[in-house]
Structure 1
């Protein structure tokens, strides 16, 4: 499966989700590769921090911020169980290439009215990609949220009413994710029985049902 985490808006947690999902699947014995298609190269920075800390490689991380992503990713998928694309914000050619490469698109959205325009734009781009990839599947996921807040509930309801729908699983705003990103670790490594690790496990399990 080629999973692309995409959103026109930056700062929605694509890289954090990509790396932690990769870690969850790798821990199950899956062969996983993360393609860092964001020119900011945050996933590569994480991999470098992990190497400098002397930690074992959990999965492969490859920098591929090129408009030929849709031509190269399928070849990489032949040697992996899961290829996860950490997509770029606001880079239309790269984002379109990632859409054409993907089997499944996951669009993280924060519980904020300001994310509405980005969600609408993603829907347009997904519809455009389906002209060439009719079988392309896509879902929203609520990320960096406090589940019991009114705005989180309203955002979840609004996403559920969109054409592509939203996953049942959601991921909260948790300090352990930031700490893990800075130190080249995964949330499940820092707190194996913590809430963050459980949220990622639920997200990974739900995505498996769509593959």
Structure 2
């Protein structure tokens, strides 16, 4: 499966999800590839911070012809994760064309719900030519059992894609592990963050 993690709003946790989902796949015995399609190159920076052998390769490919190159790159891998650009443009469209499923991270904020509209419209535009394309929202950086987290999930139900039952909490381990090029599944394999990533991955694969 090719999974693209996309949202036009920055700071929603795209790279965090991309890196940790790829790690969860690799640690479960799946051959995974992470494509950094964000011109900022955050996933490549994560890889550069790592000491020792990586769980999976990271390839930088921030080009609007991404969808033409991905099939060749995907040969030999069970799953490919694409860390998409932080805006709706031709590069984002190319990532959608390349993908089987789109994961849309959204923070518990009304601004994020409003910003989701553009990426949803772009996915729907591509879906006219690719009927099998699937979409899934994931609430990220959620703080406890707060009302705003529940409100955002309710607001997102107005869109044509489901909201994952698994929300990713705001946890220090995500930043601490990223600083050393690790995933949360390596830093705290039995921690809450690792459990949330594994749970979200199951939902993505079953979506």
Q: TM class, shorter-chain normalised?
A: over 0.9
CA contact (8 A) 2:22 2:81 kept: yes
Alpha-carbon deviation of 1:170? 1.1
Corresponding position of 1:30: 30
SS at match of 1:133: coil
The residue that corresponds to 1:4 in the other structure is 4
- Residue 35 of structure 1 aligns to a residue whose secondary structure is strand
| Alignment RMSD (CA, Å) | 1.0
Q: What SS does the corresponding residue of 2:82 show, helix, strand or coil?
A: strand
2:123 to 121, 126, 144: 126
Q: Indicate whether 1:61 and 2:58 are aligned.
A: yes
Who is 1:194 aligned against? 191
Match of 2:90 among 93, 113, 121: 93
1:164 and 2:161 matched = yes
Measured after TM superposition, the shift of residue 77 of structure 1 is: 2.1
Post-superposition CA distance 1:88-142 (Å, at most 9, x none): 0125010010011110000000000111221111111111111221211001110
TM-score when normalising by structure 2 = 0.97
Aligned to 2:150: 153
For structure 1, list consecutive stretches of 5 or more residues without a partner in the other structure: none
Structure 1: distance between partners of 2:197 and 2:65: 30
Counterpart CA distance in 1 for 2:187 and 2:17 is: 15
Residue in 2 that maps onto 1:43: 43
Given the alignment, which residue of 173, 177, 188 partners 1:176? 173
Q: Does structure 2 retain, via aligned residues, the 8 Å contact 1:147–1:153?
A: no
1:19-74 CA distance string (max 9 Å, x none):
10111110111110000000000000000111xx2x22110100000011010112
- TM-score with structure 1 setting the length: 0.95
Divergent runs of 4+, >4 A: none
Deviates more, 1:16-25 or 1:112-121: 112-121
Matching residue of 1:20: 20
Residues 88 and 119, structure 2, Cα contact 8 Å, conserved in 1:
no
